[in-house]
Amino acid sequence: ITIFFISNLSAQCFFQKSKQANYWVDSVFNSLTEEERITQLMIIRAHSNLGVDHIENVANQIKKYNVGGLCFFQGGPVRQANLTNYYQSISKTPLLISIDAEWGLGMRLDSVINFPKPMMLGAINNSNIVYDVATAIGKQCNRMGIQLNFAPVVDINNNPNNPVINDRSFGENKIDVIEKSKQYTLGLQAQNVMACAKHFPGHGDVDVDSHLALPTISKSFEELNNLELEPFKSQIKNNVSTVMMAHLSIPAIDTTQYLPTSLSKNVVTNLLKNKLKFKGLIITDALEMKGVTKYFPSGEASALALIAGNDLLCLPEQIEESIVKIKEAILQNKLSKSDFEDKVKKVLLVKYNLRLYQFKNIETENLIADLNSETIKLRTKISELAITIVKQENKNIIPLTSITKPFDVLPKVACINIGNGTENLFSRRMKLEYDADNYYYSQTYLKNDTVKNLIEPQNGITISDTKIKYELVKNILDSCLKLKKYDAIIISVSNFNRRPANNFEIGDAAFYLIKNISNLNNCISFFFGNPYAIKNICNAKNVIACYDEDDITQGFAIDFLNGRINAKGKLPVTVCNN
């Protein structure tokens, strides 16, 4: 109860008005030119890994336009901290610093360890851990001078072919997504870091990437209201400070051809602000994305976004053109002057309540150690809780030692590792603990490191994936099936792409091998990565989802195989009909 109270209190504090706050907001507002009031509503792109020219370009935009904020992307923590100090020092008005750090700052910065992706968090049965993760991410943001994290993703991923959300979602179960995204927001905002529920009104049921084109969702409003909108309703109830608008076409809400939801007054004002009563900051998804620019030039998109009801413009392509179009919209009363000024003062109020008027330099001593201080502990807890038995037809194969008699005799095990063709912690421990014969397959070559080769004539030959012959893979398959000495065959699938395009970049030859071995009763298949890849082996007998391929997760997979731990996870998405 205390945590809930504090979290909601901190969320409300972002917009709290007082005599001192009003004085600061009015004085800053009055000091701004008309153009600067417009640019206070703009967040521009910044990197710490693109060199001097990029730094000078960002600095010039800050000096020339007095932009409202920065969104940092790839780079390094020390470099970004130094740049934040520099950019804040040259800005006339304090900058709102933001980042897209859904699974922590490691998502963007080198030397920083990632937290697990939301899909893995969706597999655990303890939502309080999501609060702990978000709290730790909030501490990371505080350490780096970041006030706004564009997270959590509250989209319900009910389309397995979704190219842009997918494992960024907590899953397909509405109740689970609502609860876990709620805990994420509460944890982040308890650290006085603004959370951002995205992507309104729901980006989960698409098979087109809005970075590349405008996706269409052809559901009725009733369907949207009962599913996609539910997590946003919960977020609003729990005082999320910010909502990000998606670039989607949803005819059930707005029939205007090619008009993305981010630029639609029906969606932003009528639905989000009026119907759902959201009072916080509304920000567009990046206006440089093709879902917008394909149909609306940058300046026009910026003006339409503010007319629609957005408060902040994320990554407008052309600042000059945007200023011109927004001034025209105000002059023509398409965007009322009072509404526009309210937006500017709302942003300034947030900056005041974040105490950006007294910005202190970010200290870089021990910075990387501080950013990584809580990650391993939480990763360890999550990895153990997430391991999921997707399917187990052979009830006697786990623990692995139970399949031989007497029980003190090790089973004879083959471990087929499908990944980058080299050993990893899983294969090393299989060798160490079971004296397993390890076989390696990658997209580019086949390799065998056992004393007795399975495919002696081809051993050591490098073969491109486009030219590989199924006969060669069949040789491995036939050899494994004929070697009756194996009590168990373990398949480890790792190092595959997290996105579903091109079937996760797992080659056809690899899946041919997996399919034909995984249907054996004495075979267990472990998937270290996006669980949607399991859709390729629906007839497998025994399948385990592990969600990540780091050493911690692979270690717990071995512990599970040995019977030292139980599998406590649940599959957050449907991978096969059965």
Which residues are part of the catalytic machinery? Answer: 211, 285
Query: Across 298-454, where does the E strand assignment appear?
Result: 313-314, 388-392, 413-419, 437-442, 446-448
Taking each helix axis as running N to C, give the angle between helix 230-237 and helix 174-189, from 0 to 180 degrees, rounded to the nearest 10: 30
CA 517 to chain centre: 33
What is the C-alpha separation between 101 and 123, in angstroms, rounded?
A: 20
What is the C-alpha separation between 366 and 388, in angstroms, rounded?
A: 37
Give Cα separations from 445 to 51, 421, 467, 473, 516 (angstroms): 37, 7, 11, 11, 19
Tokens of 419: 């990944």
Q: Which amino acid type is present at position 151?
A: A
Query: Are 493 and 506 a contacting pair, CB within 8 Å?
Result: yes
Length of the chain as a residue count: 578
Q: Which amino acid type is present at position 325?
A: K
> Residue 335: which of 358, 310, 360, 363 has the closest Cα?
310
Query: Are 28 and 212 a contacting pair, CB within 8 Å?
Result: no
What is the C-alpha separation between 370 and 292, in angstroms, rounded?
A: 39
Q: Which residues pair with 200 in a beta bridge?
A: 245
Query: Across 109-154, where does the E strand assignment appear?
Result: 148-149
Handedness of CA 544, 550, 554, 560 (dihedral sign): negative
Phi, psi of 12 (to 5 degrees): -70, -30
Residues 6+ apart with CB under 8 A from 324: 299
What is the C-alpha separation between 77 and 367, in angstroms, rounded?
A: 7
